[in-house]
């Protein structure tokens, strides 16, 4: 008899799906000479976990060119993590959103993919990026913000 009998054990999803979604969104295959870095967001205490997210849009933010902050609250311990800050002292908060999935889930595994221009094998400048989320409930992926 298993010690897990009767208990539901949630398995950690494959993050290759999230990375592939981010790379596809940036059309990475169209830029073979550029570097595409991907990293998962982590809670300082628990590691890679789903986060409840708050996205603050600041002045100058528009579709495709996010300005603001993304803050995550760990779904395990409640610790708050600054996932992305792309703003400055001169910017003001315009609005705040809490993303949710079509299934109703509000916790997401979060990843960021950036395109760095490549020039004759050397790394160049940041070109664009995307922050993506994968629902902890149904594993549906979505774009959270795009940076330019």
Write out pLDDT tens, residues 39-67. 999 999 999 999 999 999 999 898 888 99
Across the range 68-83, mean pLDDT stands at 97
Helix and strand tally (H, E) in the chain?
A: 1, 8
What's the whole-model pTM score? 0.86
Across the range 3-23, mean pLDDT stands at 70
Q: Hey, which bits of 2-78 come out as E strands?
A: 35-40, 51-58, 68-74
């Amino acid at each position: 008899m298993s010690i897990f009998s009767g208990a539901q054990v949630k398995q950690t999803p494959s993050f290759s799906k999230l990375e592939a979604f981010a790379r596809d969104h940036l059309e990475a295959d169209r830029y073979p000479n550029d570097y595409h870095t991907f990293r998962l967001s982590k809670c300082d205490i628990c590691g890679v976990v789903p986060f409840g997210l708050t996205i603050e849009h600041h002045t100058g933010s528009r579709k495709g060119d996010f300005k603001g902050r993304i803050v995550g609250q760990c779904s395990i311990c409640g610790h708050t993590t600054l996932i992305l800050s792309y703003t400055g002292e001169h910017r003001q908060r315009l609005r705040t959103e809490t993303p949710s999935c079509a299934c109703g889930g509000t916790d997401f595994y979060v990843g960021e993919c950036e395109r760095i221009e490549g020039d004759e094998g050397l790394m160049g400048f940041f070109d664009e990026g995307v922050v993506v989320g994968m629902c902890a409930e149904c594993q549906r992926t979505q774009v959270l913000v795009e940076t330019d």
